[in-house]
Amino acid sequence: MRKVLLVTGGSRGIGAATCILAAQKGWDVAVNYSANAQAANSVVQQIEAAGGRAISVQADVAHEGQVLAMFQKVRTELGPLQGLVNNAGVVDVSARLDEMSMARWRRMFDINVLGSMLCAREAILQMSTRHGGHGGSIVNLSSAAARLGSPGQYLDYAAAKGAIDSFTLGLAKEVAGEGIRVNAIRPGLIDTEIHASGGLPNRVKDLEHLVPAKRGGSAMEVAQAIVWLLSDEASYTTMSLVDVSGGR
């Protein structure tokens, strides 16, 4: 049976590296994106050129109707899911708490937290033996920010990632008897476009002296850990929060 994986935010950065590596390891991959169809199609083309199978699927993970339609499309075109990577995530520009708006916090939690919970709910309905599924693996993207707190920069993002850690621990126990493993990855400073989206395009170079390994990480270094957690090689690993952060 082919194994089907959905990666939210699979079109760029860590998500794109995860899609490409997972396809190399034999997964059929659904590459989700919210706005940049060209980037998602480019990932699909790279996978197909290497002999793999992939589709792109648009959905804003914070929008329930779009997420339900995405899961339906993936099931129809690729089959039932065995893997979900809750990777879609956003930061915002640097600010102190006393400068932040409710609208900013709502976006931060809608996408980073509720989007992950929503996609996990839909995945469990397909994967859980309780619902007639054959089990699977869910990997949530947290962040080292959940430990560091990100004061003066984006502690709303850090708090959202802290919620992802708690969500991972609870969900892992809730579905462990139903064939589903749930883990989180906490990347450190990784070289992707997310930093430019927060107004700090040089953030990795500027902060790498704070990393014990003295460098930022690559998206593929994070993808390696994600794809391992998805695989049967990690068959007894659940409820783990895995730091991929060069020691930071």
- Assess contact for 114 and 62: CB atoms under 8 A: yes
By the rule CB under 6 A, 225 interacts with ligand NAP = no
3-state secondary structure of 238: coil
Q: Catalytic one among 33, 154, 157, 236?
A: 157
Of 164, 199, 134, 152, the closest CA to residue 1 belongs to 134
Q: Which stretch binds ligand NAP (CB under 6 A): 5-13, 22-30, 131-139, 232-240?
A: 5-13
Q: Which stretch binds ligand NAP (CB under 6 A): 11-19, 74-82, 122-130, 225-233?
A: 11-19
3-state secondary structure of 243: strand
Please, what is the minimum distance in Å from the beta carbon of residue 233 to ligand NAP?
22
By the rule CB under 6 A, 12 interacts with ligand NAP = yes
Contacting ligand NAP within 119-148 (CB under 6 A)? 141, 143
Distance CA 218, CA 206 (A): 16
Find the distance separating the first CA and the last CA of the chain, reported in whole Å.
40
- Assess contact for 80 and 1: CB atoms under 8 A: no
Q: Which stretch binds ligand NAP (CB under 6 A): 4-12, 96-104, 125-133, 228-236?
A: 4-12
**Which residue has tokens 């049976």?**
1
- Figure out which of the listed residues 3, 9, 156, 225 binds ligand NAP, where binding follows CB under 6 A: 9
- Figure out which of the listed residues 6, 81, 155, 189 binds ligand NAP, where binding follows CB under 6 A: 189
> What is the rounded (10 degree) CA torsion for 169, 174, 180, 186?
-10
The binding site for ligand NAP (CB under 6 A) comprises 8-9, 11-15, 32-36, 39, 60-62, 87-90, 111, 141, 143, 187, 189-190, 192-194, 197
Q: Which residues are annotated as catalytic? A: 157
